[in-house]
Amino acid sequence: GESVGLHLPTLSVQEGDNSIINCAYSNSASDYFIWYKQESGKGPQFIIDIRSNMDKRQGQRVTVLLNKTVKHLSLQIAATQPGDSAVYFCAETSFSGGYNKLIFGAGTRLAVHP
Amino acid sequence: KAGVTQTPRYLIKTRGQQVTLSCSPISGHRSVSWYQQTPGQGLQFLFEYFSETQRNKGNFPGRFSGRQFSNSRSEMNVSTLELGDSALYLCASSLNPGQGYEQYFGPGTRLTVT
């Protein structure tokens, strides 16, 4: 499949452990944030989003935390499974960006070991 | 419901040539965005179209252009190709522009410029 990134930071975890992927965003005017998962040979897939008026949002096995003071976003994956192995991107956008103009982070590769 | 489709999936062109990539959004989706993904620069926003109008544009030279048809299908064109244009070009569609409208990505077109 296509190479997503040659020099991405990698997080290695054991199957069943919890994973935490961090992201620093750049624009203090950003008010909408999204986490995407990209598997080899595929386009990014939406995982979870959060608006700037929230600091935490939970989905199925995933939680996103937003700290606007330090412009930091994190994605927590509970009970990580081999199928979670992929590259994870955070993305930020804003009203001035028209919301569909996503600014992506560099990405983190998650490797899940049995 | 069929996902976002992009054609062709792979393309090899020579420097100086031009190329046209096609994107068919999910049925009913009216907003289409394009992104360029490279190992060095990551995912970068190219432009967004809604109702056949360019709504937003990223920081790319004028050699990169796009359009959207009345059926919401979109094309992007790159003229006078350079080696640095080699990348995975991703198309994303959403129902409408705006916060909370999830963007769905296609598998991408891998362009190699030699």
The pLDDT tens digits for A45-58 are: 999 999 999 999 99
pLDDT of residue B96: 86
Do residues B6 and B108 touch, judged by C-beta distance below 8 A?
yes
Assign A68 a pLDDT band (cuts: 50, 70, 90): very high
Q: How sure is the predictor about B1, in pLDDT bands with cuts at 50, 70 and 90?
A: low
* Averaged pLDDT for residues A75-100: 92
- A98: closest chain B residue by CA: B98
According to the 3-state scheme, what is the secondary structure of A43-108? Answer: CCEEEEEEECCCCEEECCCEEEEEECCCCEEEEEECCCCHHHCEEEEEEEECCCCCCCCCEECCCE
Residue A9's pLDDT is 92
- Each residue's pLDDT tens digit, B62-111: 999 999 999 999 999 999 999 999 999 999 999 988 766 789 999 999 99
Predicted confidence (pLDDT) at residue A3 exceeds the cutoff of 60 = no
A17, pLDDT greater than 80? yes
Residues B48 and B26: their CA atoms lie apart, in Å, by 15
Would you call A62 an interface residue with chain B, using a CB distance cutoff of 8 Å? Answer: no
**Per-residue confidence band for B51, with pLDDT thresholds at 50, 70 and 90:** very high
Predicted pLDDT of residue A35: 97
Number of A–B residue contacts, CB under 8 Å: 77
**Rounded Cα gap, residues A79 and A19, in angstroms:** 8
For residue A106, the chain B residues in CB contact (below 8 A) are: 42
CA A64 to chain centre: 8
Residue A96 falls in which region: left (phi positive, over 0), alpha (psi -120 to 50) or beta: alpha
pLDDT at residue A5 tops 60: no
Give the closest-approach CA distance of A58 to chain B in angstroms: 16
Q: What region, left, alpha or beta, does residue A39 occupy, with left being phi > 0 and alpha being psi -120 to 50 degrees?
A: beta
Kindly determine whether residue B99 and residue A41, on different chains, have CB atoms separated by under 8 Å. Answer: no
Task: Name the amino acid, one letter, at B59.
Answer: N
Average pLDDT, whole number, for chain B? Answer: 95
Query: DSSP label at A2?
Result: -
pLDDT digits (tens, 9 = 90+) for B3-26: 999 999 999 999 999 999 999 999
Token pair in block for residue A104: 């992506």
Looking at the predicted structure, is the pLDDT value of residue B55 above 80? yes
